[in-house]
Amino acid sequence: MLELDYQNRCKGDKFHRICETTLLSLRAGFGYFSSGYDIFGGYGFISLICGVFLVFFLVSSKYIREDARGSEQLKEN
């Protein structure tokens, strides 16, 4: 088994805790909308979360590509 040093183990624990918290909130939202409306309300909640993430991802990747182009131009000069 691979042993991690202290700093990497702390980062892994934090990431694991963030993932658990995110999944817990998704489960709670799905349960709330499923019980309040119907099963399609729960899946609508999940699709809303996925849509928000898609917009965030597209905007973030645009800035990352622009930043990469800028650094390439600086290297050429």
- Domain boundaries along the sequence of the chain: 6-76
- pLDDT tens by residue, 18-50: 889 888 988 998 999 888 888 888 898 899 999
Q: Report the predicted TM-score, pTM, of the whole model to 2 decimal places.
A: 0.58
- pLDDT (average), residues 55-66: 83
Rg (CA), the chain: 20
* Residue 62 CA from chain centroid, whole number: 16
Helices 39-76 and 6-36 cross at an angle (nearest 10°) of 140
Provide the pLDDT for residue 60.
87
